A and B are shown apart, each in its own frame.
Chain A
Amino acid sequence: MTAVEIAAGVRAGTTTARQVLESHLSAIAARDPELHAFNLVITDEARQAADAVDLLVAKGADPGPLAGVPVALKDNMCTRGVPTTCSSRILEGWRPPYDATVVERIVAAGGIVVGKTNLDEFAMGSSTENSAFGPTRNPHDLTRVPGGSSGGSAAAVAAGFAPLALGSDTGGSIRQPAALCGVVGMKPTYGVVSRYGLVAFASSLDQIGPFATTVEDAALLLEVTGGHDPRDSTSLDRSAPAVVQEVRKGVEGLRVGVVRELLEGVDPDVAARVHDVADALTAAGAKVDDASVPATVYGVSAYYLIAPAEASSNLARYDGVRYGARVDGPDINAMYGATRAAGFGPEVKRRIMLGTYALSAGYYDAYYGQAQRTRTLIIRDFDAAYERFDVLLSPTSPTTAFEFGAKSDPLTMYLSDVCTIPSNLAGHPAISVPFRTDGAGLPVGVQVMAPALGEPVMFRVAAAIERAAQSGGDQ
């Protein structure tokens, strides 16, 4: 059942939140031992929350638009009193003293938080192989990665452990795992969803967004979680975009650009699905044409200077003083060095050092400064493209799900983010919609990008792609 169906059933009294929860807990118990989507399943708290929702319904009250809907949270979102690890040894055992804003909003809407999902340590990675607690496996093929960094959330939704999940997307960490696991994943415009209580990675890029099995469900979770939050100074001073109403509108007359640069070097099967989507949108009445956003080819280089630079600053807080692990030493510098050496995994160390270097005297302008100016060039090229087009289309990931260990070289892994990074650098919304499979039967994701606050038109196009995928066609 979709989240929309569950909430309708619970509100109408045709099912109960507890029944819905128990069926999902059974699915988790049956299959999560082999998938490892969750770092933690919070069974008791979830049952109490579900019973509370059922009590509200029994009293004639409305629990809200997520009534009884199980929701999985990426384990970098704070949950009061419930361990929040970021899949890092350095936060093992930490219990946050507060809830993230998104958690408060899900609970206020009647949603049931079922657990915390696995991720690449501190959201740094594209395969979930960088988790200190072991990787998550792709539900479609256990020998393959689910993508990352929100691989646990993507796998949880794909495996039916929860109809909805939240992830965070700094360079594609929602959209890429959504593509590799065959579910919908969406990154909002920067500032639409509060980052309060999201453990910071790269603060000018991070956004929380939904995973779902349908475009409408993703729209519902965006509406529930979005909107201004005074506790996040980068939160936009406006209400959440109204997107659920968009999914039943058509795409007649919409201008769709297929981004030439983001099809270069892409697996032929993936490129073929993008062209299939372009044809399907044309058939649905959209005007589809070739588009160019030239500076996107510099996205990976700019991102892997900017994001590590911001991370090196953000992760300075893990110092063994206020929370988390500590390895003692004779003086404070020895304690810092030993704590951080023991607490962080190799990828996090790599990024901290890369960022520290990019920001250091003598290199700041050549690397970090140049990356920031390149970011401006990418935004300008997007602005020019959006004068001609309402939305842009590309693959989400240049490949389908790859095997464990296939990208052990860091730079090779970084290049898998080529299609998703540009939207983060620009602060624009983007969504990955599953569209059929490659020759091996693995899911393919197609990305729809839109200008800032273009979520409504983006959801219209995403829903049209979903309808085309369901119609089967000649595939």
Chain B
Amino acid sequence: MPERLTREDVAHVAYLARLDITDDEIELYTEQLAAVLDHAADVAALDTSGVPPTAHPLPISNVLRDDVVTPSLDRDEVLAQAPAVEDQRFRVPRILGEAP
């Protein structure tokens, strides 16, 4: 069994998931998520040696289609939905340390 979830774990996964959270939220989520994981202890403790995992209910893989050109979404229609656009592209805040 893994050790119990800590406040540091919650702060870390919130960072990984790019969710800004407050100290109060960390407190609340630590308690609530630990309760769910405690409930999941039954699954974590099961003897599953030799049991393969199921990732998907269908036995299908590598679905291919014919290599033919089909219509795509209209670029202007798509860009019209974006929060910020410049020169036919999505505009985002600076990514690296370059000047804005």
Task: Say yes or no: A367-B2 contact (C-beta < 8 A), given A319-B18, A373-B51, A374-B48.
Answer: yes
Interface string of B64-79 (1 = CB under 8 A from A): 0100000001100110
Say whether A411 contacts B35, CB under 8 Å.
yes
Task: Say yes or no: A375-B46 contact (C-beta < 8 A), given A234-B60, A301-B39, A322-B82.
Answer: no
Task: Say yes or no: A191-B37 contact (C-beta < 8 A), given A98-B73, A336-B18, A370-B43.
Answer: no
Interface string of A160-191 (1 = CB under 8 A from B): 00000000000000000000000000000011
Q: Which residues of B contact A344 (CB under 8 A)?
A: 19
Task: Say yes or no: A354-B19 contact (C-beta < 8 A), given A366-B2, A370-B44, A376-B54.
Answer: no
CB under 8 Å from chain A, chain B span 52-100: 52-58, 60, 63, 65, 73-74, 77-78, 81-84, 90, 92-95
- The total of Cβ contacts below 8 Å across the A-B interface reads 175
Say whether B19 contacts A304, CB under 8 Å.
no
B42 sits at the interface (CB 8 A): yes
Residue from the list B19, B35, B42 in contact with A337, Cβ < 8 A: B19
Task: Say yes or no: A354-B33 contact (C-beta < 8 A), given A367-B2, A367-B44.
Answer: yes
A44 sits at the interface (CB 8 A): no
Q: Which residues of A contact B19 (CB under 8 A)?
A: 337, 340-341, 344, 349, 352-353
Q: How far is the CA of A340 from the CA of B14 in the complex (A)?
A: 10
A272 sits at the interface (CB 8 A): no
CB distance from B85 to the nearest CB of A (A): 10
Residue from the list A329, A360, A363 in contact with B16, Cβ < 8 A: A360
Q: How far is the CA of A354 from the CA of B5 in the complex (A)?
A: 10
Interface string of A270-301 (1 = CB under 8 A from B): 00000000000000000000000000011011
CB distance from B40 to the nearest CB of A (A): 4
Say whether B42 contacts A301, CB under 8 Å.
yes
Q: How far is the CA of A414 from the CA of B38 in the complex (A)?
A: 13
Number of interface residues of A (CB under 8 A): 72
Q: Which residues of B contact A360 (CB under 8 A)?
A: 13, 16
Say whether A377 contacts B48, CB under 8 Å.
yes
A323, closest chain B residue (CB)? B81
CB under 8 Å from chain B, chain A span 183-239: 190-191, 204, 230, 233-234, 236
Q: How far is the CA of A402 from the CA of B48 in the complex (A)?
A: 36
A456 sits at the interface (CB 8 A): no
Interface string of A417-434 (1 = CB under 8 A from B): 000000001110000000
Residue from the list B29, B54, B95 in contact with A353, Cβ < 8 A: B29
Residue from the list A233, A321, A330, A352 in contact with B92, Cβ < 8 A: A321
CB under 8 Å from chain A, chain B span 22-47: 25, 29, 32-33, 35-37, 39-44, 46
Chain A CB count within 10 A is highest, among B16, B17, B44, B55, for B17
CB under 8 Å from chain B, chain A span 322-337: 322-326, 328-337
CB distance from B90 to the nearest CB of A (A): 5
Say whether B95 contacts A332, CB under 8 Å.
yes
Q: How far is the CA of A329 from the CA of B46 in the complex (A)?
A: 45
Say whether A326 contacts B54, CB under 8 Å.
no
Chain A CB count within 10 A is highest, among B19, B37, B73, for B19
Task: Say yes or no: A372-B55 contact (C-beta < 8 A), given A234-B60, A353-B10, A360-B13.
Answer: yes
Q: How far is the CA of A366 from the CA of B81 in the complex (A)?
A: 41
Say whether B46 contacts A95, CB under 8 Å.
no
Task: Say yes or no: A97-B81 contact (C-beta < 8 A), given A298-B43, A411-B39.
Answer: yes
Residue from the list A297, A322, A338, A375 in contact with B81, Cβ < 8 A: A322
CB distance from A393 to the nearest CB of B (A): 21
Q: What are 13 A-to-B residue pairs whose CB atoms are below 8 Å?
A: A94-B81, A191-B58, A302-B40, A332-B95, A350-B32, A350-B33, A370-B44, A374-B48, A377-B48, A411-B39, A425-B57, A427-B58, A452-B57
User: With contacts A234-B56, A352-B19 known, what are 13 further pairs, Cβ within 8 A?
Assistant: A95-B81, A297-B42, A301-B42, A321-B83, A335-B93, A350-B32, A353-B33, A357-B9, A357-B37, A371-B43, A373-B53, A376-B54, A410-B35
Ranked 7 nearest A-B pairs via Cβ? A427-B57, A372-B53, A326-B83, A373-B48, A341-B20, A337-B20, A336-B18
